[in-house]
Structure 1
Amino acid sequence: MGTSWSVRIVDAPPGSLAAIEAVLARIIAQMSNWEAGSDISRFNAAPPGQWTALPADMLTVLRAGLDMARLSGGAFDPAVGRLVAQWGFGPGGLTGLSAAPSHPSPWTAIEIEGERARRLADVTLDFSGIAKGFAVDAVAAALHDLGAAHFLIEIGGELLGRGIKPGFQPWWVDVEAPPGMALPTLRIALCGLAVATSGDYRRFREEGGKRLAHSIDPATGAPIVNDVASVTVLHESAMMADGWATAMTVLGPDRGTALAARHGIPALLIGRTETGGQEYMTPALAAMLD
């Protein structure tokens, strides 16, 4: 996934490390666009219209991604791989820009039937906005199966906490403001909760003096230009927190927070301004902090 992971476990059961590594290896083998032999690469290479059998984990993420696409009006789109590659954020570097998306609402060109799926047009899957969250959930499930009850999991900045730390303290997590912004730190107790943050300062490149964020707006086929610096979302599922954060990042301050408010999602969006940053907090998060 091009990132690091860490797990803190109270009284770690035997075999914990091996179980974690097995989960992550399985997910990479299924969902990494950087692995030519992965299931997602195999699916993307199949001719449009051809059905491809998919493993259970990948189907879970694909179904969740399509559900998120419907909920967000396409702001989250698991089939933007072609656009991601065109803008140089895929494994092949820049592949050449087009003036408009190759397919409007790419996610609508993906069809699932039972344990198989197919592309109805020349779009490709990219789970970079949801797979890390799924990996966090999968590691948590594996540790639970081993008997672990108290742990904190972090993969690329997405976190999930279960139980408590020694000394009967919750797993406290600080969500810092984007670099260069003098905003207060958001401190969260992760007790059965996950938190995911999407930001334009993590993966980007400079072009013509402009910052091009890795988040692609499916409606325009280009990197977002809505001055969103970061979005932090809390959810019981790290996968869902990851997906909601991506969708809100694409939609921007007004539409993004309105979407989260409609669905009761605790979230904090930080927008860039000429003087620094501005916070937008959803009612669900405000209620949690009261």
Structure 2
Amino acid sequence: MGTDWSLHAVAPPAGTREGVQAALDRVVAQMSQWESKSDLARFNRAPPGEWQAIPAEFAEVLAAGVDIGHRSAGAFSLTLGELSEAWGFGAAGPVDAIPETAAPQSGLEFEPAVRRIRRGDGALLDLSGIAKGYGVDLAAEWLLANGVRHFLLEVGGELRGEGIRPDGQPWWVDVEVPPSWPGAGWRVALHDLSAATSGDYRRGLDIDGQHYSHSFDPRTGRPIVNGVRSVTVLHRSCTMADGWATALTVLGAEAGVALADEQELAACILANGREHVSRAWAAMLD
């Protein structure tokens, strides 16, 4: 995933480090667009229209992504692989000129009951907007299944906290804010809760003095230009927090908060020098 992970756990058994690493390795082996032997990479190389069987974990991520895409009216998409490659964020590496791209026209067919998928022309999978959150959940479920009830797990800035610390306090974490942001970030208690943040300051492309976001609007096929610096979502599932943070980033502050309210999501959007919070986020302050 191009990042690292950390774990604070109460009384972890022998083999915990290896168990967490194995869960994350499974996500990489299935869903990485940078690993040429991954299930995702093989799917993207397969001929359009050809059905491909996928593992159970891969299918779980697709189901979550399809759901978020439907509920966000297309602000989230799993088939942005061609765009991310063209703009230098994929396996091919950086580019030195602005590419001409448009919204992807060909879609993805997914049959969850039998765990198989096929793509149309030009539809390449890119799960970077949701798979890291799923990696947190998969590793967290391994910990719970192996008797670790109290822990804070972090993978590349996405977090999940279960239970409490040895001193009886919840797992307090500071919400990441963009560099030079004028306000202070929130401190939240992750007690059986996950947090995911999407920001334009983490990755981007600079060409001729212009910065382009690594987040694409699936409806236009272009990097977003809506003033959003970061979006943080709190959710029981880190998978859903990650995917929704991506979708709300694309929608922008006003539409993003409106959808977060409709979906009863706890979300904080930093945009245009202001902080915008959903009703569910505000309710957590009481």
TM-score normalized with structure 2 length: 0.96
Q: Deviations over 1:65-111 (max 9, x none)?
A: 111110111111011111111111111025782342341xx5x4333
76, 99, 102: which one aligns with 1:100:
102
Where 1:243 maps in the other structure, the secondary structure is: helix
> What count of residue pairs does the alignment treat as equivalent?
283
| Cross-structure match for 2:162 | 162
For residue 17 of structure 1, report the CA deviation from its aligned partner: 1.0
- Contact 1:112–1:118 at 8 Å: present in 2 too? no
Alpha-carbon distance in 2 for matches of 1:89, 1:247: 18
1:262 equivalenced with 2:258 (yes/no): no
| Cross-structure match for 2:284 | 288
- Contact 2:176–2:197 at 8 Å: present in 1 too? no
| Cross-structure match for 1:116 | 116
Q: Deviations over 1:98-138 (max 9, x none)?
A: 342341xx5x4333251211113321110100001000000
Structure 2 counterpart of 1:269, one-letter code: I
| Cross-structure match for 2:16 | 16
Distance 1:99 1:129, change over 3 A: closer
- Contact 1:87–1:222 at 8 Å: present in 2 too? no
- Contact 1:161–1:171 at 8 Å: present in 2 too? yes
- Contact 1:266–1:285 at 8 Å: present in 2 too? yes
Name stretches of at least 5 consecutive residues in structure 2 with no aligned partner.
Answer: none
Alpha-carbon distance in 2 for matches of 1:154, 1:77: 25
Structure 1 counterpart of 2:99, one-letter code: L
Structure 1 counterpart of 2:108, one-letter code: A
Alpha-carbon distance in 2 for matches of 1:241, 1:176: 15
| Cross-structure match for 2:239 | 239
Alpha-carbon distance in 1 for matches of 2:196, 2:86: 26
- Compute the RMSD of aligned alpha carbons: 1.3
Distance 1:118 1:260, change over 3 A: same
Name stretches of at least 5 consecutive residues in structure 1 with no aligned partner.
Answer: none
Structure 1 counterpart of 2:278, one-letter code: T
Q: Deviations over 1:218-247 (max 9, x none)?
A: 111111001100000000000000000000
Task: Note the 1:143-154 alignment, pairs <5 A.
Answer: 143-154=143-154
Alpha-carbon distance in 2 for matches of 1:82, 1:94: 14
Task: Note the 1:183-194 alignment, pairs <5 A.
Answer: 183-194=183-194
TM-score normalized with structure 1 length: 0.95
Structure 2 counterpart of 1:101, one-letter code: A
Deviates most, 221-230 or 174-183: 174-183
- Contact 1:20–1:139 at 8 Å: present in 2 too? yes
Q: Deviations over 1:207-226 (max 9, x none)?
A: 22221111011111111001
- Contact 1:111–1:120 at 8 Å: present in 2 too? no
Alpha-carbon distance in 1 for matches of 2:88, 2:172: 36
1:279 equivalenced with 2:281 (yes/no): no
For residue 176 of structure 1, report the CA deviation from its aligned partner: 3.4
Q: Deviations over 1:14-59 (max 9, x none)?
A: 2111111111111110001000110000111111110001011101
- Contact 2:161–2:191 at 8 Å: present in 1 too? yes
| Cross-structure match for 2:65 | 65
